[in-house]
Structure 1
Amino acid sequence: MSVLSEELTLATVKGVRLGAACAGIKQSDRDDIVVIEAAKGSTCAAVFTRNAFCAAPVIVARDHLGHHPRWLLVNSGNANAGTGQRGLDDARRTCRTLGRLTGAAAEQVLPFSTGVIGEYLPVEKIESALPKALSALDEAGWTRAARAIMTTDTRPKGASRTVNLAGVSVTVTGIAKGAGMIHPDMATMLAFIATDAKVEPASLQACLSDAVDGSFNLITVDGDTSTNDACVLFATGGAGNPELSRQSVDFPLLARAVREVCEDLAEAIVRDGEGATKVMRIEVQEARDETEARNVAKTIAHSPLVKTAFFASDPNWGRILAAIGRSGCADLDISGVSIWLGNVLIVENGGRAMSYTEEAGRAVMSENDILIRVVLGRGSAHQRVLTCDLSYDYVRINAEYRT
């Protein structure tokens, strides 16, 4: 089950409760902090941004990950990035405060922040709102939490899957936020996923890493990797299944459910890209290896010229051709490359296809979901990247971000 609209219906996960409250960080009329509690004995996996200027909460969360975390503390409206030692101190202080209120060690709390970079975290406001968030803890709190972590998102994002593991029903549910500064290099802006399956820690980390690589790492809105990207997966064991490891017969079923949730969340982020009007699926086939296929797809996806042409519904296929040519394919034989817009062949034998017409190209470009297929003709590897167009509104939203 996946709902990518204002109305989210998400399955509860045994052993997970979520609570939200308004701390007034940037706005005084909406929830902006979330507390997530995982039951005792839960295992936790996470991946984080590779941005060298990673935010203070990312550094603290990495440090705390090995201490059997049970609590997540998330705020929107302030990224606590580019804040130096004070930012680290502030993030650790919020962990201590939540730990004191819940009887947990500070190291069992993972902090996450999203919002404006370069401003100090309003710690006192967060601390004042924590009791309200804790009193709101609820297994059914997923939708409220999804709204509370939004920044420039226009709608909350969530997905659920249920899978049967040897007669035991297991649930996977996740929420995410993200609409701009989207070019994940490990995860997404912020994503929080939980399952009530019991999973061995190293296997849970492998499950998350594989799911992220096949979902969040294959989307881009604007080519900017955030300072705050993070994705967390809890496994509570509440379903009562025998503990899973990578060697378990049922492990691939759980891994597929986790990946499908991540794929749904990733697509929801692209569909909600800042100012986006269209979604483009860029599929590269017959590459020498997966890395080459991914590089070609991402070069097309990152091109402002390609993205603005799609916004204008202009089949300016020369921009796609140019992006492929500069993507780094060694010794590319352009005569063996073919390019398709939907089911319309636009390029073959090094130039425009003889069968191509502008009318056919414009018909495809007028659609809201568009497939760009590139066949390199030099191997068997393939990869798909999801992106969106670049509109006037993207510039407006980001020009006005701090006002």
Structure 2
Amino acid sequence: MFRLKSAFYNQGRRLYSSTSYGHLSARKQSFIAQSGIYPVGFRASGVAALIKKNKNKDVALVVSDLPCAGAAVFTTNKFQAAPVLVSKETLAQNDDGLYAVVTNSGCANAVTGAQGIVDAKKMRTVVDELVKHPLSALTMSTGVIGQNLPMDKIESGIRDAFAKLSAEHEGGWMSAAEAFMTTDTFPKLRSGEFDLQGAKFRMAGIAKGAGMIHPNMATLLGFMVTDAYVKPDLLQKALKYAVDRSFNSISIDGDMSTNDTISVLANGGSDVRIESEGADYEAFRDRLTAFAADLAQLVVRDGEGATKFVTLHIKGAETFESAKKAASHISTSMLVKSALYGQDANWGRICASLGHSGVDVDPSLVSVTFVPSDGSERLKLMVKGEPEQVDEARASEILKMEDLNIEVDLGLGQSETKFWTCDLSHEYVSINADYRS
């Protein structure tokens, strides 16, 4: 389905060229959706408006034929980008009559002053005109900070994208996913169909992100849509729960963007309706959480310069919050991440990071284990504060695997969490040293 063409290079990283991904490893290619089952009433598209120097797709539009309930979580960075501020305003005035999400890549429209707000509102206004409803769209932008949007290209791109909307995988959803990409090497698109209330509903989602990724709300850009109907307050509650256990549980480099936004639209195109809390709400919430986690993990798998996908499983914590805090701290340790890149079983760095994470820890109760992704025997590194006689050859075998699971048991309680991160390579420095070049 994806033909090999000449590839573009950017910021020291080999990027996509149109729909060519043949230069990627077979494993990375396996994460690219080949087909999909998409929510009723939604259409998508992605076009090249020539915002990016490499002329790749850079304007994405997803539109519903029906009014949608909407919810979102946004960056807590003090330098909040104009599209973040405008989307907050949109949701405050209209959380049950949205029709679209419009996104551009190549320019973040962040730290752009009053003009940035004008431009973000203009993106929304253009969509309003096309769908014939006011306050119809959430806006998202990604790319270089401190530059104004080329609004002539943006407006033309939105109109072009609207004319090309499609409910199909190719030309519709996949094109939209490609238009989200900046330093990403592959589009991050997921969809599925699920059972609830004796009926079926569908979800689809797109995310982007490869660097400047660390949780403190939701990290990067992403959105999900569903043809279930969920009341706006319940949708917001479900999204917050899901984000805490997905996009808020990933880290690549410990940095948080000015533009981070995760949103969800629910248009009621199916027979599934969630209008009160209870078993059905919890079932929907948990499905949304699992779906968001799948998307979030794709971001880590495409981490800038990453060679390893690491699942950090914190067990035996007193609370979910303390488990999360410990996981977040370990995942951002440059020493831990460097050791993983070097395939060095220097597990003492994990303990050292845990010890200054701010979480109450009893060193005599802590256990650390490498869990191979191929299902082979686990390698215990420390058991209840006592170091094991580590088989270095076995440790080296495990660390050569692309996927690695690290289990840290605090021995204090019953709470746990999973957190996804990656290693730190030479390529990460090269990519970000040359980002604007």
1:277 aligned to 307, 316, 341, which one?
307
Does 1:201 find its partner at 2:229?
no
1-structure distance, mates of 2:339, 2:246: 25
How many equivalent pairs are there? Answer: 397
Answer whether contact 2:38 2:192 (CA < 8 A) is retained: no
Does 1:88 find its partner at 2:122?
no
Runs of 4+ more than 3 Å apart = 348-351
User: Could you tell me how far 1:392 is from its partner in structure 2?
Assistant: 0.9
2:216 aligned to 165, 185, 189, which one?
185
2-structure distance, mates of 1:56, 1:4: 35
How does 1:3-402 map onto structure 2 within 5 Å? Answer: 5-27=31-53, 29-65=55-91, 66-67=93-94, 68-105=97-134, 107-140=135-168, 141-241=172-272, 243-330=273-360, 332-342=361-371, 343-348=378-383, 350-353=385-388, 355-402=389-436
The one-letter code matched in structure 2 to 1:131 is: R
2-structure distance, mates of 1:97, 1:73: 10
Answer whether contact 1:188 1:216 (CA < 8 A) is retained: yes
The one-letter code matched in structure 2 to 1:46 is: A
Answer whether contact 2:33 2:189 (CA < 8 A) is retained: no
2-structure distance, mates of 1:265, 1:238: 23
Q: Give CA-to-partner distance per residue, 1:286-332, whole Å, 9 cap, x none.
A: 122222211211111100111011111111122112111111233x3
Q: Aligned with 2:282: secondary structure?
A: helix
Q: Aligned with 2:352: secondary structure?
A: helix
The one-letter code matched in structure 2 to 1:269 is: V
Q: Give CA-to-partner distance per residue, 1:9-54, whole Å, 9 cap, x none.
A: 2212111111222111123532110121123332111111111111
The one-letter code matched in structure 2 to 1:70 is: Y
Q: Aligned with 2:158: secondary structure?
A: helix
Answer whether contact 2:74 2:261 (CA < 8 A) is retained: yes
2-structure distance, mates of 1:31, 1:349: 52
1-structure distance, mates of 2:31, 2:417: 27
User: Could you tell me how far 1:210 is from its partner in structure 2?
Assistant: 1.2
2-structure distance, mates of 1:123, 1:133: 15
Cα pair distance change 1:392/1:28, threshold 3 Å: closer
Q: Aligned with 2:421: secondary structure?
A: strand
Choose 33-42 or 276-285, whichever is displaced more.
33-42
RMSD: 1.7
Answer whether contact 2:203 2:224 (CA < 8 A) is retained: yes
Q: Aligned with 1:277: secondary structure?
A: coil
Answer whether contact 1:57 1:80 (CA < 8 A) is retained: yes
Q: Aligned with 1:70: secondary structure?
A: strand
Gapped regions of structure 1 (runs ≥ 5): none
Q: Give CA-to-partner distance per residue, 1:46-66, whole Å, 9 cap, x none.
A: 111111111110000000013
Choose 61-70 or 344-353, whichever is displaced more.
344-353
TM-score scaled to structure 2, two decimals?
Answer: 0.87
The one-letter code matched in structure 2 to 1:88 is: I
Cα pair distance change 1:377/1:104, threshold 3 Å: same
Gapped regions of structure 2 (runs ≥ 5): 1-28, 372-377
TM-score scaled to structure 1, two decimals?
Answer: 0.94
